[in-house]
Amino acid sequence: MKNCHTDSAEVNVIDELENDFLRDVAEFFKVFGDVTRIRILQSLLTGEKNVTELADLLDISQSAISHQLRVLRQNNLVKYRKEGKTVFYSLDDEHVQTILEQGMVHIRHKRGYAE
Amino acid sequence: MKNCHTDSAEVNVIDELENDFLRDVAEFFKVFGDVTRIRILQSLLTGEKNVTELADLLDISQSAISHQLRVLRQNNLVKYRKEGKTVFYSLDDEHVQTILEQGMVHIRHKRGYAE
DNA sequence: TTAATATATGAACATATATTCATTTGAATG
DNA sequence: CATTCAAATGAATATATGTTCATATATTAA
């Protein structure tokens, strides 16, 4: 007799789904786990910016910025808007902002940075 | 005449502090950016577990678990308690739990997993 | 003390990832 | 159309990271 928790084949299926899910969660956090991307995201907290602006502001090559923006795009952390030749990026939703700010608050408290 | 925002040397000092801070934030998120560590953390949501338990439960070698627990320890995501030869690990504080759950909720919604 | 068990650690290896450099695409303008 | 400017992309390289394997440490039991 089987129930929804002890049948081994069924549990394996569930485990696989769970593992896929956790893999995605890890991938999601991984995107926040890079200084360049964090700096980009933090810059976008104050509003949309184009690629050149970001490169100048952060003193990082246009190429590096562009590569990282692609990662951010692919993971839906930013959205963009084209206007002529320039592309303006901004944070995708408040979820992103919330998580970013949570992390910043955590480190600020932990390391005792001035508020 | 200088003020607290335009003096270039002073700004550089501020930038350095800010960059150090953002580096730490990225490091912090990086810890969440690995499936094994996420699986460990998720397992600890239901309470403390020892190393062997985790290795069995997650079907990951004792060594791999131990290496990752070290990373989690060094970043204050978990704390531990020794009892004889066994070491019990648990989540450090609710901050960790909050961020983990935020990420899981985000992915669940984004990917449309069943609640 | 010897054996057994739980955990930690170091070295080696394979893979992933970020940056640079060169080039390309695409849009506006002369 | 040729040029210029903004952004994207591909290849190459250097570095970081996770796992395995072998071994060490530490605690308990025989």
CATH 1.10.10.10 assigned to A33-111: yes
CB B34 within 8 A of CB A26: yes
pLDDT exceeds cutoff 50 at B82:
yes
Query: Which residues in chain B have Cβ-Cβ distances shorter than 8 Å to A32?
Result: 25-26, 29-30, 32-33
Q: What is the mean pLDDT of residues A44-68?
A: 98
Mean pLDDT of B62-89: 97
Mean per-residue pLDDT, A93-103:
90
**Alpha-carbon gap, residue A102 to B33, rounded angstroms:** 16
Please, what is the angle between helix B62-74 and helix B35-44, to 10°? Answer: 80
Q: What angle do CA B27, B32, B38 make, to 5 degrees?
A: 155
CA atoms of B21 and B5, how far apart (whole Å): 19
In angstroms, rounded to a whole number, what is the distance separating the alpha carbons of residues B79 and B17? Answer: 28
Closest CA to B28 of A52, A1, A113: A113
Rounded Cα–Cα distance for residues B85 and B50 (Å)? 10
**B42 → closest Cβ in A22, A24, A99:** A22
Rounded to a whole number of angstroms, the CA Rg of chain B reads: 19
The alpha carbon of residue A61 is apart from the nearest alpha carbon of chain B, in Å, by: 17
Strand residues in chain B grouped as ranges (E): 49-50, 78-83, 86-91
How is chain A split into domains, by residue range? 33-111
Q: Is B41 exposed, middle or buried (0-12, 13-18, 19+ CB in 10 A)?
A: buried
Please state which of the ranges A75-89, B37-51, B101-115 shows the lowest mean pLDDT.
B101-115
Which band of pLDDT confidence, cut at 50, 70 and 90, is reported for residue B5? very low
Question: How many Å lie between the alpha carbon of B52 and the closest alpha carbon of chain A?
Answer: 19
Helix (H) or strand (E) holding A81: strand A78-83
User: What pLDDT score does B36 carry?
Assistant: 98
Domain over B35-111 is classified CATH 1.20.810.10: no
